[in-house]
Structure 1
Amino acid sequence: MANEKITSLQVALKAGVSQSAVSRVYTPGASVSKATREKVDKAATALGYRPNVLARAMITGKSRIIGLVVAYLENQFYPEVVERLSIALQAEGYHVLVFMAAPTIGDVQDVMKEILDYQVDGIVLASVSMSSELTARCSDHGIPVVLFNRDQDDPLMSSVTTDNRRGGREIAAHFAALGHTKIGYIAGFEGASTQRDRESGFRDGLEEAGLAVSFRENGGFKYEMARAAALEMFAGSDRPDAAFVCNDHMAFAVMDALRSKLGLRIPEDVSIAGFDDVPIAAWPAYDLTSYRQPINRMVAQTVETILTRIKDPAAPPQKVQFQGELILRGSTKTLKA
């Protein structure tokens, strides 16, 4: 029959190997000789056989699926994160299920319950946090959780972040070196650790230079909110001569608003700096000074952390911070020689 389901036993018979050998060929990490693999692959191709991943998961208790929860996909940083994490995990024999969540703990709760129904081997939370209660529940079920580009005060939670405080401090030092004195800050979602730490570092850096934040608005990590925040901050004659925007996605909105609605020149009238250094930041239309997150190292560390804890549930949680790099471009004035 054309629709007959081909079994591993049929593959084994055609390849002249045992059924367990076929199983090993399709089990990531299993020991199998090159000759046996070639025989099985040839037989499977000829028969049109595909292994039943879900059935194997029910037998082994391992789905080899990682749940990836992400919010803010309109932010250009996160599609890149999803792509690189997916590729890196697939290279290790895992598959990624992506779940969308709003950037609040309450909404993440519902998504997390759905993820647990898939019996995932691990969970990566990118740009979102979750309650200690749900963290404990995952721990009780032996499901490790890693936060990507977020952190929270929970000893059960692993996290991988850039040193956001340092980034904020370096941007403040750059503004001070340029001679700016009227400083603005446009915040992201107030509940995010990235927002908290970037602003904290920025304020510390300004204080070290004898300066302070004179103007503050909230952009909520959203383009339209950031645009409105910029129009509010720069509406009058008393306005900043430099502004740090908590991420690049909002910084683009700020630059668009200042140029198209208020006719301000960047950097002649105001210097603008962002955070993340997404590819669009280097486009001539923006040429944005930004603090670059080392995304490749962050992804590699996230994969290493989640796989380590899958293999050894007793492994202690890790909190890893990477140093980024301030990339200077045309949106901030150049230092005079």
Structure 2
Amino acid sequence: MTSRPNGSSQRATAEMVAKAAQVSRAAVSRAFNPQAPLKPEKRARILKIAEELSYTPDRAARALVTRRTHLVGMIVPDVCSPWEAQEIDALTTALQAEGFATLLFKTRTDRSMDETLLTYMRGFNPDSVIAFIENVRPHILSRFLDRAVPIYVNYFIEDGADGLQPGEPRTLFDRLDVDQWEGMEQAVALLAGYGCRRIAYLAGKPDSFAEQARRRTLEALMAKRGLGHPIVIPGDFSYDAGHAGTIDLFRVGEGADAIFAANDESAFGALDALRHELRLRVPEDVKVIGFDDIAQSHWKSYNLTTVKVDLEARVRALVRLILRRLKDPEAPALSETVRTRLVVRGTVG
């Protein structure tokens, strides 16, 4: 174990790391740059010693004095799907208006994150980190942060859920709670009012907490109205999965009166499959409801009825969490709640 020189109150420097690792100062700089040439074992040794010394490279002299970098990290699963792209754009704009710059980190395809990237994130010493992905859990992410308290988006069914998984270590993090119940209840009531009894659920990625909460909420709401269980169409939130799954539902399965999709993009796939492949009328033969209310949902070719997550309200809530935490760094876990509502358009009626 490398001892921190001259007591724990002294800020470690690159020279201290270089001396402890018996390398040059330049090698320490290269170790924190993923593009710089350095042997993997040498990089690993330097980063290990840097972690033991709690060293992070300086990004700005001002940050050393103010302890504020005005940087906000965002961890996302992808940047090309419509919802993520629109949220990143809106959030970046809102943060810049508050004087923050953003750092974007993308997970692997399995939604995990290379710990080396987390080490690089720590080097930027961000004021806050928003995790739009559940797989990088708070007790893992917090190991790579200095003073920042991460923010997680939490989808829940029961009020009071704290966002922790069973058996998970208790770690301080702030939450944006998305209450799906109200909007989904309005959706199920609308379908029931039109006499729909065979309701199919076009699922998202199975390992997504948002997907799991959405599905369980739909099951609870349908049971409450005596509608039985939804017919589950496997999916992954994508247009292609929604399109293919809908064709299978009607050509291999027994079809449905209505399709409730886990997001708008997969609902678009369902709509195109119904209209162009199966030659069914929407909403006369089959009714379709999406989730999110992305910008494309009101386009005339789709005119999608959907459960709306108000993007502006969600972004403002995230910004408030950042500002509240910076104002009171020692506060217990902070939370904001965003509710949902049904937007009725032409795919139900």
The two structures have a TM-score, normalised by structure 1, of 0.76
When residues 57 and 290 of structure 1 are mapped into structure 2, their CA distance, relative to the original with a 3 A threshold, is same
In the other structure, the counterpart of 2:279 is 263
Contact (CA 8 Å) 1:266, 1:272: kept in 2 or not?
yes
Quick one: structure 1 residues 123 and 71, their matched pair in 2 at CA, closer, same or farther if it must change by over 3 Å? same
Q: Specify which of 79, 91, 101 is matched with residue 73 of structure 1.
A: 79
* Deviation, structure 1 residue 127: 4.5
Letter in 1 for 2:319: V
Higher radius of gyration, 1 or 2? 1
Q: How far apart are 1:53 and its partner, in Å?
A: 7.5
SS at match of 1:317: coil
* 1:16-95 mapped onto 2 (5 Å cutoff): 54-95=60-101
Within 2, Cα distance between the matches of 1:228 and 1:66? 38
Residue 327 in 1 paired to residue 343 in 2? Answer: yes
Residue in structure 2 matched with residue 30 of structure 1 by the alignment: none
CA contact (8 A) 1:185 1:217 kept: yes
The 3 A distance-change label for structure 1 pair 190 and 178 is same
Which residue is equivalent to 1:142? 147
Q: How does 1:162-241 map to 2 (within 5 A)?
A: 162-236=178-252, 238-241=254-257
2:13 paired residue number: none
2-structure distance, mates of 1:229, 1:287: 21
Aligned equivalent of 1:122: 128
The Cα RMSD (Å) is 2.4
One-letter amino acid of the counterpart of residue 243, structure 2: R
SS in 2 for 1:323: strand
Within 5 Å, which residues of 2 pair with 1:234-249?
Answer: 234-236=250-252, 238-249=254-265
Instruction: Say if 1:103 and 1:128, in contact at 8 Å, map to a contact too.
Output: no
Structure 2 residue matching 1:133: 3-state secondary structure: helix
Structure 2 residue identity aligned to 1:315:
A
* CA shift for structure 1 position 109: 4.8
Q: Deviations over 1:223-282 (max 9, x none)?
A: 222222222222247211101000101111111222222222211221010011112111
Report whether the alignment pairs 1:294 with 2:310.
yes
CA contact (8 A) 1:161 1:298 kept: no
Query: What secondary structure sits across from 2:143 in the alignment?
Result: helix
1:320 deviation in Å? 2.6
| 1:203 shift after superposition | 1.3
User: How far does the alpha carbon of each residue in 1:37-63 deviate from its partner, in whole angstroms, 9 at most, with x for none?
Assistant: xxxxxxxxxxxxxxx973322444322
Q: CA deviation at 1:157?
A: 2.5
Instruction: Confirm or deny that 1:113 pairs with 2:115.
Output: no
> Which range moves more in the overlay, 183-192 or 257-266?
257-266
Letter in 2 for 1:75: S
Shifted more, 195-204 versus 270-279: the winner is: 195-204
CA–CA separation in structure 1 for the residues paired with 2:262 and 2:114: 23
With 157-166 and 90-99 compared, the bigger mean Cα shift is at: 157-166
* Cα shift at 1:306: 1.5
Identity over aligned pairs, percent:
27
Whole-angstrom distance in 1 between the partners of 2:297 and 2:259: 16
Is the contact made by 1:183 and 1:212 (CA closer than 8 Å) also made in structure 2? no
- Would the alpha carbon gap of residues 189 and 313 (structure 1) be closer, same or farther in structure 2, given more than 3 Å must change? same
Unaligned residue ranges in structure 2 (runs of 5+)? 1-57, 157-162, 165-169
Question: Which letter maps to 1:142?
Answer: R
**In the alignment, structure 1 residue 315 sits paired with structure 2 residue 331:** yes
Cα contact 2:307–2:342 (8 A) shared by 1: yes
Aligned-residue offset at 1:117? 2.4
Residue 290 of structure 1 contacts residue 327 of structure 1 at CA under 8 Å; is this kept in 2?
Answer: yes
The answer as to whether partners of 1:248 and 1:275 remain within 8 angstroms in 2 is yes
Contact 2:71 2:127 in 1 (8 A): yes
CA gap 1:105/1:233 in 2 versus in 1, 3 angstroms: same
Deviation at 1:192, TM superposition (A): 2.1
Match of 2:173 in 1: 157
Contact 2:121 2:144 in 1 (8 A): no
Pair 1:299–1:108, CA change in 2 (3 A): farther
